[in-house]
Structure 1
């Protein structure tokens, strides 16, 4: 029969209770860290899979979608060079890998769980490859506390965190977003993963509302990620100066061609995706 792993998801509303995805597993390694249960699965169809506290974080087969989309819509919104980037969470390294393609001078990665980083560097080299880059500073600690004393330091801040439970809960609140705004340069951009508008609609709406109290420009956007609850996943971009929908297509096309010449073609993001991802279905913000 072999081994099987099911991520059980207890969603918002009875229609989503006890749903989930099941994966055929060839081998499994489990580790208890000071913060969470870490599980590495070798699966039949998705390659290596990182699971934290029972929730799938990333797989070798579809990780490129999440990591490209949390980085590149913001990266291609800038009309100048990106010098300094902060990534909160994202200990698997995929977000850092994509950020480095925009050639920043410095990337600070703040991850609370050192074991996630060390485990990913050892077991997921295709995802974590950027963590060894000399421009990357690995900082092990609380991202919420780290950002508090920063002032106009970062061009781009990305929150690549888990669901809003435990240590990650504070990363979804207005107070944190106000500290993020202070840590950004005046024309900086903030991006956060903002859950599934279908499976976690209430959380998604809360993120957008909390960000709207702090930033002038709020742009939620979508990507399809097969191994995440419902497949429909969202990110939200916020800024006081830069609007991803304000980038002229001719300028974006030129930037993307230059990017591809240096880095090669991306697997998911392209200029058409850039604009189309910001089209949100009617049901998401409809009052019920």
Structure 2
């Protein structure tokens, strides 16, 4: 009997997701993290960083559409955008679809993520393979990159991995202060903020830290099957616009597979247990 090959990500010490795989296409240790490229039976090709499932060809749009279009559609005229992390190119691909955006800085710390994404995930990394003039790709520390700017960006998107290793500093008050300075007076910051089911203390910590720096913080969520418990949160910090009160633009690029006008506002309508999580009361 042939032994089945699997990969498992542990969302916390008690909960994990195990997927059957048909093969490991690539594996290496970079100066920053351990990278695996695998083919899974359920979700197709997938990238894993330090044991954490990052993206798969079957469900990546559930994540990338929501991290990109929700803040961009809330802002009335987003022209300059910074993406920190996002070396797979999926977020950049979605931001590039907005005609109003004239300049995009993409800064990931690991050049090998760029390289392997272009080789193994061409549909996700399409903006990296054929970059438009408005996309500027940088390799380096996103925290240091953001510190160079003041009153410059309309939207900053933190498309980072978990708060360990190279992504740890992106979840701190010091970084949020740098992002605040880099944003214009009506700027918006969005960061992926993990699962409000299996990582509740982290979600609450991000909410509290952003709230110490920005006048308005709202959480919204999407459903991403390869992420812990399928429910994935994003934290939006805004200097001016409130996604529950201010009307979003209606000129979103088409077609979409997840995002739509209804979700723009309804994604911020939270279940009661998530509201309690943001107050520091954990149910899991």
TM-score norm. by structure 1 comes to: 0.91
**Given that residues 30 and 40 in structure 1 are in contact (C-alpha distance below 8 angstroms), is that contact kept between their aligned partners in structure 2?**
yes
Q: Which residue of 2 aligns with 1:34?
A: 31
1:43 to 40, 44, 47: 40
Q: Which residue of 2 aligns with 1:216?
A: 215
1:267 to 257, 268, 276: 257
Q: Which residue of 2 aligns with 1:62?
A: 59
Give unpaired runs (5+ residues) of structure 2: none
Q: Distance in 1 between matches of 2:242 and 2:161?
A: 26
Closer, same or farther: CA 215–18 of 1 in aligned 2, 3 Å: closer
Shift in Å, 1:108: 0.5
1:74 aligns with 2:87: no
Q: Which residue of 2 aligns with 1:281?
A: 271
RCO comparison, higher one (Cα < 8 Å, 6+): 2
- For each residue in 1:134-166, what CA deviation from the matched residue of structure 2 results, as whole angstroms up to 9, or x when unmatched? 211111111111111211111110000011111
- For each residue in 1:186-227, what CA deviation from the matched residue of structure 2 results, as whole angstroms up to 9, or x when unmatched? 011100001101111000000000000111111100111101
**Given that residues 19 and 41 in structure 2 are in contact (C-alpha distance below 8 angstroms), is that contact kept between their aligned partners in structure 1?**
no
Give unpaired runs (5+ residues) of structure 1: none
How many residue pairs end up in the alignment?
Answer: 274
Q: Which residue of 2 aligns with 1:169?
A: 168
Q: Distance in 1 between matches of 2:3 and 2:26?
A: 15
Q: Which residue of 2 aligns with 1:205?
A: 204
Q: Which residue of 1 aligns with 2:103?
A: 106
Q: Which residue of 1 aligns with 2:5?
A: 4
Closer, same or farther: CA 2–43 of 1 in aligned 2, 3 Å: farther
Higher helix share: 1
Shift in Å, 1:275: 1.4
1:141 aligns with 2:140: yes
Shift in Å, 1:265: 1.8
Q: Distance in 2 between matches of 1:26 and 1:97?
A: 27
Shift in Å, 1:6: 2.2
Q: Distance in 1 between matches of 2:261 and 2:254?
A: 15
Closer, same or farther: CA 201–86 of 1 in aligned 2, 3 Å: same
1:121 aligns with 2:122: no
Q: Which residue of 2 aligns with 1:93?
A: 89
Shift in Å, 1:10: 5.1
Runs of 4+ in 1 over 4 A off after TM superposition: none
**Given that residues 192 and 237 in structure 1 are in contact (C-alpha distance below 8 angstroms), is that contact kept between their aligned partners in structure 2?**
yes
Q: Once superposed, what is the RMSD of the aligned Cα atoms? A: 1.5
Greater mean deviation of Cα atoms: 58-67 or 131-140 = 131-140
Q: Distance in 1 between matches of 2:222 and 2:25?
A: 29
